[in-house]
Each structure stands twice: as structure tokens, then as C-alpha cells.
A and B are shown apart, each in its own frame.
Chain A
Amino acid sequence: DAKTTQPNSMESNEEEPVHLPCNHSTISGTDYIHWYRQLPSQGPEYVIHGLTSNVNNRMASLAIAEDRKSSTLILHRATLRDAAVYYCILRDVGQGAGGTSYGKLTFGQGTILTVHP
């Protein structure tokens, strides 16, 4: 599996932007970059994903480097509810009959985001 590297922890103040970095220097051409987060006592939650271009959705923005060896998850205005562990994951394409991908997720340790009031 292609590996990602994230800082162990980051801190932010409420209502300020947060930039969460991820390095993935061994990414392959067909790997999608996914971000998930896990709030305390909850299951992982999908945040955003992209392939080459920057992406925006209601939760966050994803900035992908031109060489795709790194990416940054951007929370435009952090709230207390955004305090979570954030995981950067390269989507693993499983090998199955007919080339079907089964898409298990391989989680690392992630980045623990603390948001201060």
C-alpha cells in the first residue's frame, strides 16, 4: 500500500483556518487521495477526496500538489466540532474478478486536531 505521512498533532483556534498536511511521495497514478476524520467515540467519517485537481465541498477543501506527492486539507473556519483525528488515505484498489475494486481503507495514525475556543 502506498504510504502517507502526517504530523501527529496540530492545534488551532476556533473560527481560524486550519491546514492539515499530508505527504504521499509513493502515490501511483490511479490512487485517489481521501480524507476521513474520526470524532471522539464515533466511526470514521468521509470528508473529501480528489485525484489531481483541487476540490471543495461543504466540509472542507483539498489542495493537491502538482506532482501529487503531497496534499493539504483545509478547514476554512475551524469549530469546536472539528476537533478530531484526521486521516489522509490513498484509496487501495483491490484486485478481484473482472478488475473490480473492493476499496479497503488503510488507516495510519492520523493527525489529532485540537481546536481551542
Chain B
Amino acid sequence: EPEVTQTPSHQVTQMGQEVILRCVPISNHLYFYWYRQILGQKVEFLVSFYNNEISEKSEIFDDQFSVERPDGSNFTLKIRSTKLEDSAMYFCASNPGTGSNQPQHFGDGTRLSIL
């Protein structure tokens, strides 16, 4: 069964540095998402992406964050000037298409640790 893959599984970065989290969504999917989960807290939506542009973003997704689909397969989340509070699990997800009846497929996440 096709999977969403994320790399790296764990990223350790100094505060203030930039970090790029990478995801390969399922190949025929059209809608892409990033979520984050701070340790012990619930999963929070960050951003959705369709047709090469952001379709929706949360209040968390401020100017520090950006997303990109640089080629036909990768979907990246860039965090500029990281802060201690950015430490979390970051999950990428994808949908096959439109409609609220579409299952969403998640990767196993990247654990981001900011020192």
C-alpha cells in the first residue's frame, strides 16, 4: 500500500537556524498538509496546499513558515529562525482528491528538537 514518507525522522537544530522538513506524498494525491504535535498535546493543523499554492493556513503558520512543492514528488516545510517552542513532531499528510469523504494519509513524522 502506498505511503507518505517523511525525512528525516529526527532533526536536531540550534535555535535561530533554518530547517527544512521533507515529505513525499502518495503519488496520485492532489492535496497536501502539514500538522504538528507538541509533546503531550493534540495534533494541530498548520497548512494545506493545492495546485501549487496554499489553500488554508492556521494562526500558527506565520511568516516564519513556508511550504513548497519543488518538483513532482516532494513537499517541504521550511521553518526560518527556529525557536525553542518549534520543538514538536511534524506530520505531513495527503488526500487523493476533493470531498470531505476522502481519507487523509499521514506520514510517521519528523521529530524536530530545537536546542
Contacts and interface: CB of A to CB of B under 8 A. Distances in A.
A40 B54 CA distance: 30
Chain A interface mostly: loop
Contacts of A107: 35, 42-44
Task: Classify chain B: how many residues form its interface, as a range.
Answer: 20 to 34
Task: Classify chain A: how many residues form its interface, as a range.
Answer: 20 to 34
A32 to B, nearest CB: 5
Nearest to B41: A109
Contact of A43 (B95, B99, B107): B107
Interface string A27-58: 00011101010100111111001010000000
Interface in B101-115: 101-109
A34 B91 CA distance: 18
Contact of A42 (B35, B45, B98, B108): B108
A81 interface: no
B48 A94 contact: yes
Contacts of B104: 36, 44, 46, 103, 105
Given A46-B104, A108-B42, 20 more contacts: A34-B103, A38-B43, A41-B108, A43-B107, A43-B109, A44-B104, A49-B101, A51-B101, A94-B55, A94-B56, A96-B50, A96-B55, A100-B50, A102-B31, A103-B98, A103-B104, A105-B33, A105-B93, A107-B43, A109-B42
Interface of B: 4, 31, 33, 35, 42-45, 48, 50, 55-56, 91, 93, 95, 98-109
